Amino acid sequence: MTKTINGPSGYNIELDSTEIYPDDPGAGTPAMVNGPRGSSGTYWCVADTGEMLNGRGEETVDVPPRIIDWLDSKADEVDAFIDQHSK
């Protein structure tokens, strides 16, 4: 199952239950953040560092503080999705 949480300024969170590996939690990418011009990163990395890879995957770009705040506000929803599909 996939779910997209749309956010401000072209950012979204894509949740993908096929990327959840309960026996190896670090193996998949069940929560990805996508931004403008193809930038992306895992939810937890972007929320923690405030950076994501540019659309070519060559360098990092800074994520605006208001987007980090939005990501933080969605933490419970992301965690609930992961928990629900980890069983």
From first to last of its 87 residues, the chain has per-residue pLDDT tens of 999 999 999 999 999 999 999 888 789 999 999 999 999 999 999 999 999 999 888 899 999 999 999 999 999 999 999 999 987
pLDDT at residue 57, rounded to an integer: 81
pLDDT at residue 19, rounded to an integer: 97
Report the distance separating Cα 37 and Cα 19, nearest Å: 24
Q: What is the pTM of this model?
A: 0.94
Pick the closest to residue 68 from 53, 38, 83, 48 (CA basis).
48
Q: Is residue 84 part of a domain?
A: no
Strand partners, 12: 6, 34
pLDDT at residue 22, rounded to an integer: 87
- Contact call for residues 70 and 78 (beta carbons, < 8 A): no
Q: Is residue 32 part of a domain?
A: yes
Query: What is the side-by-side order of every strand in the sheet holding 60-62?
Result: 2-6, 12-16, 31-34, 40-42, 51-53, 60-62
For residue 73, the enclosing domain spans 2-77
Compute how many other C-beta atoms are within 10 angstroms of the C-beta atom of residue 81: 22
Q: Is residue 72 part of a domain?
A: yes
pLDDT at residue 26, rounded to an integer: 84
* Residue matched to tokens 């360098």: 59
Q: Is residue 36 part of a domain?
A: yes
In total, how many domains does the chain have?
Answer: 1
pLDDT at residue 61, rounded to an integer: 95
Q: Is residue 47 part of a domain?
A: yes
Report the distance separating Cα 40 and Cα 16, nearest Å: 15
